[in-house]
Structure 1
Amino acid sequence: MISMVKQISVFIENKVGHLAAATDILAKNDINILALFVYDSQEYAILRLIVDKPYETVELFRENGKVVRIKDVMVIEPVNEPGMMNKIFHLLATNNINVDYAYPYAKTGAPYMLVLATSDQEKAYDLISHSEYVINQ
């Protein structure tokens, strides 16, 4: 399985309670977090989210004074066997596509899923979707 989904990136201070405050905004508005990844630096962090209501989430964060961006990322369900992620990364590398970042995505019934952002999302999507590396093509 491979699909494109909207990912929200929110810039927050890297201080105690700021992640909880950001997720409070979602909880209070009945927005479900499907995937979450935090990348930190000393002063700030980037909170990356996949949620069930992406456009509403963007507006809520903006209303709360947060710097927020929305972009398309891939969610893939690789075939569950040793070396499969390696094959996907080599497929991208041999086609001159950089993996900008990747993080796990939970889905009921799936052994594992992966969020993937690359330097060329359209080309990467086409390559991966036409490979034998993902389930239920």
Structure 2
Amino acid sequence: MSPTAQPKSSSASDTAEGSPVRQLTVFLQNRVGALMALVKLLGDHHIAVLGLSLQDSTELAIVRLIVSAPDDAQMVFIEKGIPHTILPVTVIELKETETSLPQALSALLGAEVNISFSYPLLIRPGQNPVLVLHLDSADFAAEVLAKAGFKVLKQEDLSR
């Protein structure tokens, strides 16, 4: 996303239950303290980091973030000239059993839904483990997971 892009506004695709969870992906220089500076910047703007995934290379680190206020975070990144992208992700609450993850994966496999990446959240809104998934056919996948008994969370469930 270009530094001049505007945050997503509400649209007809947002359902009555809420809007999809949006992940911010930030590209940082791979140097000591860069992640701390990013988290502190968000905290200084009263934006909580709810989940993150870090993938580094020799020169850059790719940080995937779920935050309490994605629109506000995007504005901060635009103001500070921080390169980033934003995309919807599927977030599900797992059941508190050891078979919950295999059941979710089995439901997705049965529906032939591909998982691009996944990571857990740092918070547990319903006191159960929470998993972020980037899926092809996200709307279809959310239906499949809901039919399999999993709660699909919306941004409002996380932002409190």
| Partner in structure 2 of residue 129 of structure 1 | 146
Tell me how far apart the structure 1 counterparts of residues 100 and 144 of structure 2 sit (CA, whole Å): 14
Is structure 2 residue 39 aligned with structure 1 residue 27?
no
1:114: Cα distance to partner? 0.8
Q: 1:41 to 1:126 in 2, by over 3 A?
A: same
Q: Which amino acid aligns with 1:54?
A: P
Is structure 2 residue 55 aligned with structure 1 residue 39?
yes
| Partner in structure 2 of residue 116 of structure 1 | 133
| Partner in structure 1 of residue 156 of structure 2 | none
Conserved? CA contact 2:89–2:138, under 8 Å = yes
Q: Tell which deviates more after alignment, 101-110 or 73-82.
A: 101-110
**Which structure has more strand as a fraction of its residues?**
1
**TM-score normalised over the length of structure 2:** 0.75
Q: Which amino acid aligns with 1:116?
A: L
Structure 1: any 5+ residue segments left out of the alignment? Answer: none
| Partner in structure 1 of residue 117 of structure 2 | 101
- Does the residue aligned with 1:11 lie in a helix, a strand or coil? strand
Q: Which amino acid aligns with 2:82?
A: K
Tell me how far apart the structure 1 counterparts of residues 119 and 68 of structure 2 sit (CA, whole Å): 17
Tell me how far apart the structure 2 counterparts of residues 120 and 36 of structure 1 sit (CA, whole Å): 22
**TM-score normalised over the length of structure 1:** 0.87
1:115: Cα distance to partner? 1.0
| Partner in structure 1 of residue 6 of structure 2 | none
The CA RMSD measured in Å over matched residues stands at 2.0
Q: Which amino acid aligns with 2:84?
A: V
Q: Tell which deviates more after alignment, 3-12 or 22-31.
A: 3-12
- Does the residue aligned with 2:140 lie in a helix, a strand or coil? helix
Tell me how far apart the structure 1 counterparts of residues 72 and 60 of structure 2 sit (CA, whole Å): 23
1:21-49 Cα offsets, whole Å, 9 max, x none, are 21121121111111122122222111111
**What is the aligned length?**
134
Q: Which amino acid aligns with 2:73?
A: T
The percent identity for this pair of structures is 31
Conserved? CA contact 1:7–1:50, under 8 Å = yes
Is structure 2 residue 90 aligned with structure 1 residue 74?
yes
